[in-house]
Amino acid sequence: MRKIVHYPHECLTIPTRPVTRLSKDVLSLLDEMLVIMESENGVGLAANQLGESIRMAVVKMDDETGLFEMLNPKIISKSKTTTLEVEGCLSFPGVYGTVERAAEVTVRYVDRDGYEIEVDVTDDLARIMQHEIDHLDGLIFTDKFIEQVSEEEFERLGEEE
With respect to residue 5, please indicate whether it lies within any of the assigned structural domains. no
Would you state the pLDDT for residue 151?
87
> Could you tell me the pLDDT band of residue 59, with boundaries at 50, 70 and 90?
very high
Whether residue 159 has pLDDT greater than 90: no
Is 9 annotated in some ligand binding site?
A: no
With respect to residue 30, please indicate whether it lies within any of the assigned structural domains. yes
With respect to residue 29, please indicate whether it lies within any of the assigned structural domains. yes
- Counted domains in the chain: 1
With respect to residue 73, please indicate whether it lies within any of the assigned structural domains. yes
- Helix, strand, coil percentages (3-state) for the chain, rounded to 5, are 30, 35, 35
Would you state the pLDDT for residue 161?
63
Question: Average pLDDT, stretch 30-43?
Answer: 98
With respect to residue 125, please indicate whether it lies within any of the assigned structural domains. yes
Q: Which domain holds residue 37?
A: 10-160
- What pTM value is reported for the model? 0.96
| Catalytic machinery residues | 132
With respect to residue 118, please indicate whether it lies within any of the assigned structural domains. yes
Would you state the pLDDT for residue 81?
99
CATH of the domain at 18: 3.90.45.10
Is 6 annotated in some ligand binding site?
A: no
With respect to residue 4, please indicate whether it lies within any of the assigned structural domains. no
